[in-house]
A = this chain, B = another copy of it.
Amino acid sequence: MKERIFYEPLQHKVVSAQEAASWIEDGMVVGMSGFTRAGDAKVVPLALVERAQQEKLQVDVYTGASLGPEVDDKMAAAGLIRKRSPYQGDPVIRGLINSGQVLYADAHLSHNAELVRQGIIGPIDYLIIEATLITEEGHIVPTTSVGNSPIFAQYAKNIIVELNMAQPADLEGLHDIYIPDVQGKREPIPLTDASTRIGTTAIHVDPEKIKGIVISEITDAPSLIVQPDEETAQIASHLLDFLRAEIEAGRLTNELAPIQSGVGSVANAVLNGFLHGEFENLEVYSEVLQDAVFELLDAGKVKFASATSITLSEECGKRVYGNLGKYKDKLVLRPQEISNHPEIIRRLGLISINTALEADIYGNVNSTHVSGTKMMNGLGGSGDFARNARLGIFVTKSYAKGGAISSIVPMVSHVDHTEHDVDVIVTEQGIADLRGLAPKERAARIIENCMHPDFKEQMRDYFDRAVEATGNAQTPHILAEALSWHTHLAEQKTMKKS
């Protein structure tokens, strides 16, 4: 293990997971590394789970985003989590959130760092961070994600490092750690290109704060591959056609603009579309890099990819981490404050593709709440990207539950992205370009282009009556009916009213 701890005084601080876990007290605030199941601390959280099964132990857990399922699941089931922020994607936590047993502060992923600086999140008693190695200066090289770890490390009173021997040592050099100063004393972030390196390869910390080092050999939970079905392929196809039309209109070249895409099968289908398309020299500026980005790197279609985490399938992981040298000059992992920063997203002019749970006829999007009340996963970075991107694109199938649910509704039951932040909506039915339109113009496009035929007539009827009832107001609605598709679903198991 000395080949991974280059700062000599810390070599004596190696302890067992149980000992490290014993330092955490009931009621503490704990930061953890980990973003979309990559680079999460694993053995200390599981030792905490053991303690929580035997004694009263509840902590506030702040992460990058979701952790690996084996960690998130067990922490939640053991009742270890009092409050969680900013993101989760786990069925067990979700159940506890929606039964009032876990407090969940769903938030823009770029916002946490400011809240830490302000002391709204914190004081952070411990940061538990997975590391590749500790440098000669006592600084920490993260593993497969950066997330919020740098800002947590700066403000945490104590740090527990999980040195993961199963992560390849040559991850060193992949990261670019840049932490803006406090607001008001801050310089412009000097990043003008997805590939610009502006920081250091390790997280600078006072080594005195590292209270212990725990050895780990548990690999990241692999991502699940969701094969695109016919409809996701249609969505991807509409989107690629739209991008071609943008090139035709002179708004883009065939190098497009740096691409951000959320996690999921549609995103994968779009990226797969690039594999066989005419687009060249692409760049990715995103949160998470999944298998498809590495296929595009291999094919020479993507020339550079920036993100805050790498989440791969088992097979792709072997290929990438077995040949990191091949990718290292084409990849960078940044703090999520930087990968998701409005300043950078706006400057670079990203093409941003995220998934909607539902959208309404005026272009408002719900990304998080099933029927307006139950949390699904969380907002993630969708708001950071959609508001500030060159193109804020939302994708969804036009229907769900075998046709019982229309994903396009009169009024969304929860708003995560307002009508002012949604540029384009795509379903398997087609695409609605909403840029520059007034609400009623948007409604016409969304209904005609994006809705499933089974629901179109019902919506035209609602819209026409709403126009009539409001005297053709700016945003026609019949408030007593606006959420009736959802209540009908709850009562009749379908949004179809006929």
Among A329-374, those with CB < 8 Å from B are: 341-343, 346-349, 364, 369, 371-374
Instruction: Kindly list chain B residues whose C-beta atoms are within 8 Å of the C-beta of A364.
Output: 415
Residue A436, interface by CB 8 Å: yes
- Nearest chain B residue, comparing its CB with the CB of A182: B349
**Cβ contact within 8 Å between A436 and B85:** yes
**Cβ contact within 8 Å between B441 and A183:** no
Which residue of B83, B118, B435, B483 is within 8 Å of A482 (Cβ)? Answer: B483
- Nearest chain B residue, comparing its CB with the CB of A483: B479
Residue A418, interface by CB 8 Å: yes
Residue A1, interface by CB 8 Å: no
Contact with B along A471-482 (1 / 0, CB 8 A): 111111101101
Please, how many angstroms separate the alpha-carbon atoms of A188 and B250 in the complex? 25
Residue A259, interface by CB 8 Å: no
Residue A100, interface by CB 8 Å: yes
Which residue of B375, B417, B474 is within 8 Å of A98 (Cβ)? Answer: B474
Among A442-487, those with CB < 8 Å from B are: 466-467, 470-477, 479-480, 482-483, 486-487
Instruction: Kindly list chain B residues whose C-beta atoms are within 8 Å of the C-beta of A184.
Output: 257-258, 348-349
Among A257-302, those with CB < 8 Å from B are: 257-258
Known: A343-B346, A437-B105. A373 touches B474 (CB 8 A): yes
How many chain A residues touch the partner (CB < 8 A)?
83
Of A8-16, A106-114, A225-233, the one touching chain B: A106-114
Please, how many angstroms separate the alpha-carbon atoms of A360 and B100 in the complex? 20
Distance in Å from the Cβ of A15 to the closest Cβ of chain B?
Answer: 31
Of A20-28, A63-71, A307-315, A382-390, the one touching chain B: A382-390
Distance in Å from the Cβ of A26 to the closest Cβ of chain B?
Answer: 20
Known: A120-B436, A343-B347, A479-B490. A98 touches B471 (CB 8 A): yes
**Cβ contact within 8 Å between B475 and A369:** yes
Instruction: Kindly list chain B residues whose C-beta atoms are within 8 Å of the C-beta of A373.
Output: 466, 470, 473-477, 479
Binding site for B on A (CB under 8 A): 83, 85, 97-100, 103-108, 111, 114-115, 118-121, 182-184, 186-190, 192, 249-251, 257-258, 341-343, 346-349, 364, 369, 371-375, 379, 383, 387-388, 390, 411, 413-418, 420, 435-438, 440-441, 466-467, 470-477, 479-480, 482-483, 486-487, 490
A-B contact pairs, 16 of them (CB 8 A): A103-B438, A105-B436, A115-B436, A182-B349, A188-B188, A342-B342, A342-B343, A371-B479, A373-B470, A373-B479, A374-B473, A374-B474, A383-B387, A415-B415, A416-B420, A479-B486
